[in-house]
Amino acid sequence: MEKEDLEFLKEYSSMNNLNMSSFVRNLILDKIYDEITEEDEKRILKRWE
């Protein structure tokens, strides 16, 4: 990650009273949810059974 990007994230999280680790976690989860297909979801759920 570029230094400027990291500074932006720190500033943004500070301004919005966000915990950086939960902010990053939510970004990652959003990315996963956006990319997961219905077939992937079924396969994952089947393994959890």
Residue range 6-43, pLDDT digits in tens: 788 788 888 887 777 887 888 888 888 888 888 988 88
Q: Tell the burial category of 32 from Cβ atoms under 10 Å away from its Cβ (0-12, 13-18, 19+).
A: exposed
pLDDT of residue 36: 85
Sequence ranges of the domains in the chain: 3-48
pLDDT of residue 32: 84
pLDDT of residue 44: 82
Q: Map tokens 């059974």 to a residue.
A: 49
Specify whether the CB–CB gap between 22 and 28 falls below 8 A: no
pLDDT of residue 7: 85
What's the average model confidence in pLDDT over 43-49? 84
DSSP per residue, 1-49? --HHHHHHHHHHHHHTT--HHHHHHHHHHHHHHHH--HHHHHHHHHHH-
pLDDT of residue 13: 80
pLDDT of residue 1: 64
For residue 37, give both structure tokens.
């297909």
